[in-house]
Amino acid sequence: MFLLSFVPDAVLHLVVVGILFTGVGIYALSFFTRFIPPLIPYSGIVRIVGTVLIVCGIYFYGSYSTEMSWRNKVAELEEKVKISEAKSKTANVEIQTVYRDKVKVVKETQVVIQERIKEVEKRIDSQCTIDTEVIKILNDAAARKVK
C-alpha cells in the first residue's frame, strides 16, 4: 500500500476501473463465444478469466477507495499543519513585539532612576561613607556560583 502512494490518483483510478471493466467485458464476451464454433471450447476459460478480473477489480476498487481516503486525510492534515505554522509565526511576532515594548519600559525607567541618583549624588555621598567590606559583601552576593 505504501508503494501505491507513489502512483498518481488518476493512473490508479484508470488501472482499477480498467481491470473491472475488462473483467465485465470478458465475462460478457464468454456468452457470445458459444455462438462462434471455434471458440466454444474456450467459453469456460474466458468466463473464469472474466470472473477473476471482476473480483480483482472490485477488490482493487475497495483498496483504491481506502487509499484515497488516507490521501485525503493526509492532505487535510498537511493543510492544518500549514495553518498552524502560519499561526505560530504570527504568535512569535506578537510575543516579540510585547517583549521589546516591556524591555524598552525597563530601560527607560533605568535612565530616569540613574538621573535621579545623579541629582542627589552630592547630598547622599556627603551623608554616608561606604565601608570597603560592604562592597565585598555585595560583590559576593552578586557573583554567580553555579554556571
Q: What does the block give as the cell for 54?
A: 471482476
Q: What does the block give as the cell for 99?
A: 517583549
Query: Which amino acid belongs to residue 38?
Result: P
Min CB(56)–other proteins separation in Å: 22
The position carrying cell 482493487 is 60
Residues that bind other proteins (rule: CB under 8 A) add up to a total of 48
At CA 101, angle to CA 98 and CA 105, rounded to 5?
A: 140
Stretch near other proteins under the rule CB under 8 A, chosen from 14-22, 33-41, 44-52, 123-131: 123-131
Query: Which amino acid belongs to residue 115?
Result: E
Q: Which is nearer to other proteins, 11 or 115 (CB)?
A: 115
Taking alpha carbons only, the member of 19, 17, 40, 18 closest to residue 29 is 40
Residue from 35, 128, 145, 146 binding other proteins (CB under 8 A): 128
23 touches 54 (CB < 8 A): yes
Q: What does the block give as the cell for 11?
A: 493512473
Site for other proteins in 100-119 (CB under 8 A): 100, 102-103, 106-107, 109-110, 113-114, 117-118
Q: Which is nearer to other proteins, 34 or 80 (CB)?
A: 80
Calpha distance 3→73 (Å, rounded): 17
Q: Which residues bind other proteins (CB under 8 A)?
A: 1-3, 5, 74, 77-78, 80-81, 84-85, 87-89, 91-92, 95-96, 98-100, 102-103, 106-107, 109-110, 113-114, 117-118, 120-121, 124-125, 127-132, 134-135, 138-139, 142-144
